[in-house]
Structure 1
């Protein structure tokens, strides 16, 4: 993609002065603001995965959770559950990372976010050439790693592992291993 930050307003600009309620995950899809209550299970997965990733990055990249990322469209503003930012990436003039700075995105899905995470985010992340998109599904107790993105909005490779197996993230020039045996099963 050849879009630069000066070509497109960020979807997040619409929320610049808004006071958002705490306890909600906020994203923008198709120009619509979507607020989803933060679930306990989702948070526990993030709490277990993030420190493992951060420790292995050891200063060669950064891990973010629920942080606004600028995408190449004013209709989309995602704040991934977990995002691995490539080493050497710099914040843009709005103080945010952009889609091309991401090496991997991990989303923890729930019943309320399942369609959104499987369809719209899957397509957007692939179109933006994010190398890895991992869907963590506590109800199925699986992690699905999507890799080799295409400009047509798909990933050509997919691997599913069960909770209890190691989640291996092959990043540029290094590999991150996340132990999933402590990931909680979805309640209900």
Structure 2
């Protein structure tokens, strides 16, 4: 296996010897370590979507869930809810995939992660040219597919689908269809 060297320090290096409590999602935003518990709706959606995506990838890419990804900044360390890694991607010298290996990122919004998902992650994923960023929002029962990233931190196109409709991920040379009719509604 060939390794890829990163030019910048990884945000995850700050946590290398940290003893973190279990049951929390850990990410780094603007240099701050953020720990949030996973909500029931978030967990249910991920358990519903992940097997569908994994089965359709069938060896043409890899699906990760809550796995550290190295981004080109020591201030940001994200572990997307779900990330589709392009076929043939290799890990860097730290044993992690980097931002440029990702074909799609899916984040399930919760009340505590709303700002990060809609603004900070949106900007970072677009600046890093991640082709698809999907925000799944159980509070309004929608999935928003952002595509055509720009270097200015936006996506040129977006499509919103309601829970119950098919979520279609147009990846390089193939597409993944996720049935959303089983996604729980968070009507609280």
SS of the aligned residue for 1:66 comes to coil
3-state DSSP class of the match of 2:25? strand
Alignment of 1:122-137 (within 5 A): 122-137=122-137
State the Cα RMSD in Å: 0.9
Flag as ranges the 4+ runs of structure 1 deviating above 2 A: none
User: Is residue 96 from structure 1 mapped to residue 62 from structure 2 by the alignment?
Assistant: no
Counterpart for residue 107 of structure 1? 107
Q: Does 1:52 align with 2:52?
A: yes
Question: Quick check: 1:140 aligned with 2:140?
Answer: yes
SS of residue in 2 equivalent to 1:119: helix
Asked whether the 8 Å contact 2:104–2:134 carries over to 1, the reply is: yes
8 A Cα contact 2:6 2:92, kept in partner: no
Q: Which runs of 5 or more residues in structure 2 are unaligned?
A: none
Unaligned 5+ segments in structure 1 are none
SS in 1 for 2:33: strand
| 1:6, distance to aligned residue in structure 2 (A) | 3.5
Question: How far, CA to CA, are the matches of 1:142 and 1:6 in structure 2?
Answer: 36
Counting matched residue pairs gives 185
| Post-superposition offset of 1:187 | 5.3
Aligned equivalent of 2:72: 72
Structure 1, residues 162-182: CA drift from partner, whole Å, max 9, x if none?
000000000000000000000
How is 1:139-158 mapped onto 2 (pairs within 5 angstroms)?
A: 139-158=139-158
CA deviations 1:124-153 (Å, max 9, x no partner) are: 000000000000000100000000000000
State the TM-score, normalizing by the size of structure 1.
Answer: 0.97
Shift of 1:185: 1.0
Aligned in 2, Cα 1:43/1:31: closer, same or farther, shift over 3 Å?
A: same
